[in-house]
Amino acid sequence: MSGDKQMKIHKLSAAVSHASLDKAKEKLALLRKLTNQGAELGEELSQIVGKMRQIAAPEKQPFLFTQRLADNEHLLRVTFRDCDDIKFRKFNARGTEALIVYLDGMTDVTLIEKNVMETLMEPTKGKREGVISDINTLVNTLVTSASLTLISNAREALEAIMVGNALLMIDQIAEGLTIGTSKHVKRGIEEAKSEGAIRAPFDAFNETLKDNIVLIRRRSRDTNLKVKIIKLGDRTKTSVALVYVANLVKPGLLEEVERRLNTIQTDQILLSYTVEEAISEHPWTPFPQTLSSEKPEKVVANIYEGRVAIIVDNTPFALMVPCTYSAIMQSVDDFTVQPVIGSLLRITRHGAAFIAIYLPAIYIAIVSYHPGVLPTPLAISIAELRARTPFPSFLEALMMEALLELFQEAVVRLPRKLASAASVVGGFVIGTTVVQAGLVNPLLVVITAVTAIASFSISNYNFSIALRALRVPMLIAATVLGIYGVIITALMITIHLCSLRSFGESWLGGITDLTLLEDWKDGLVRFPNKFLRTRPKEIGPQDRGRTGDNSG
């Protein structure tokens, strides 16, 4: 090549027009579009196939089982497509083709091997092949498992598989057997996390419904204690147990609970609070309308007063209805000490509820509007403390409330190893730093600390949160109208509580009803057990006697 000639390099797209980058992007976009359309078409075909399977099936049934095992297997495989943890095991059962379907990880494979496969795969020993010709032979002579359920309903069969049971199907039989082989990872029976007790039993509910029912059954051998299980959630099919005493529960209460549960329209039930919110009558009130507990002895005590307990699978908290104020303020420790001490504890708890909601507002009202009600030396001392801070009393109190709420939320959300460190830091900030910085006066720090301790002493966490939520409206009313604002707001809260009902029963119960004064024996105070011969009248139990006869 001569020196005066230069070699020119051109792009491929200059010679071949369809090789340009823009053309490649255009073709790639077209390919993606075709891929998406193919996926949508495949999904539509799957839906069409599913609808074709439902043509001959009853309403809400995915398909019908047939006598051909190959067809049943195909229907099951289509239903469980892309479910790699669903296992299909075909084998020869004494000359007849058989199929076992189970969910890997939630099924005890050892039980399947010993109680089903070993028995059915034994040699016929001279008997004619195809001896499994009807379902009765399978149930009565061959399968040795104690938990067997005959199923011809496809929807029930699918649900049984999804909870860990095995489905056994035999050729020439249009029915299946579900075998109780459920086994999965679960938390053991441990101490209660949210309810402290000193002399009460330490075992508490876990996330497994069967274990929770066993904890209740262990505490009562009464045949009148009934357990009814229903399924909620169109997709999750969560098991919910209703626990009650048949000859004690108020007539109509159980039916009302079932009616409200059956009206729940949702596709998933993951928490007990989902059920609690759905069955509550007043969705906008901050006060709890159901009792909740993770202690079995508390649940048993409440159902023997005539309540109905609701236990949701996968959650360790049981709900009890109806809910009353006196039941909220009770604790298991009240019954593990002398009656006088138990009564003192309850009175202290009621006083703590009053302090938790009214003390900061009363402080603001007195300091801002009515300092004359204080002794002169105390009024002068408070005035000197407030003179050192740049903010009015309302802003000081609001700042302390915000710090307290942030501190409580941080302690709850942090891991346990960091919670103790956060407690030290929070106590230092709230108790020392804000005072030294001149943001708030020391007396308000004392008021905030007393209020926090009072709210912590409430045995019911939901009720404690409700009191915390009402403190800010009380502060605003006290700032605007002084002590008159506190009184007006207190009257509004009292009127609201008087109108509040839980499954037809008054939330305040015997506190405001003179016909229920006898319930005070186990309400505001606790009498000795020899005087507690009747159940609370406010719940309306069928048998009020606690004399220990067969009827009660």
Cα(354)–Cα(467) distance, integer angstroms: 9
4: DSSP letter: T
Read off the pLDDT of each residue in 198-205 and give the average, rounded to a whole number.
87
Sign (positive/negative) of CA torsion 250, 345, 288, 204? negative
Residue 323: Cβ within 10 Å count = 28
What share of the chain in percent tops pLDDT 90? Answer: 38
Residue tagged 């009902």 (tokens)? 501
Structure confidence at residue 279 (pLDDT): 93
User: Does residue 392 have a cis peptide bond before it, meaning omega lies within 30 degrees of 0?
Assistant: no
Confidence of residue 128 (pLDDT cuts 50, 70, 90): very low
User: To 10 degrees, what angle do helices 461-481 and 442-456 make?
Assistant: 150
| Rounded Cα gap, residues 216 and 225, in angstroms | 10
Q: How far is CA 58 from the centre of its chain?
A: 33
Reply yes or no on whether the pLDDT at 99 is more than 50.
Answer: yes
| CA distance linking residue 196 with residue 409, whole number of Å | 19
How far is the C-alpha of 197 from the C-alpha of 180, rounded, in Å?
37
pTM of the predicted structure, to 2 decimals: 0.80
Angle at 295 between CA 289 and CA 296, to 5 degrees: 100
Report the alpha-carbon angle 533-539-542, nearest 5. 65
Domain boundaries, the chain: 69-179, 209-321, 335-506
CA distance 380 to 371: 9
pLDDT at 127: 46
What mean pLDDT comes out for the span 486-514? 88
pLDDT per position as a tens digit, 256-272:
999 999 999 999 999 99
- pLDDT digits over 383-428, tens only? 888 877 888 888 888 888 888 888 777 777 777 766 666 666 666 6
Length of the chain: 552
pLDDT tens for each residue of 434-490: 777 777 888 888 898 899 889 888 888 899 999 988 999 999 999 999 999 999 999
Q: In this predicted model, what pLDDT tens digit does every residue of 266-290 receive, in sequence order?
A: 999 999 999 999 999 898 999 999 9
The mean predicted confidence, pLDDT, of the chain is 84
Q: Which two tokens stand for residue 152?
A: 């011809």
Give the model confidence (pLDDT) of 226-253 as tens digits.
999 999 998 899 999 999 999 999 999 9
DSSP 203-236: B---S-HHHHHHHHHHT---TTEEEEEEEE-TTT
Can you give the pLDDT at residue 51? 55
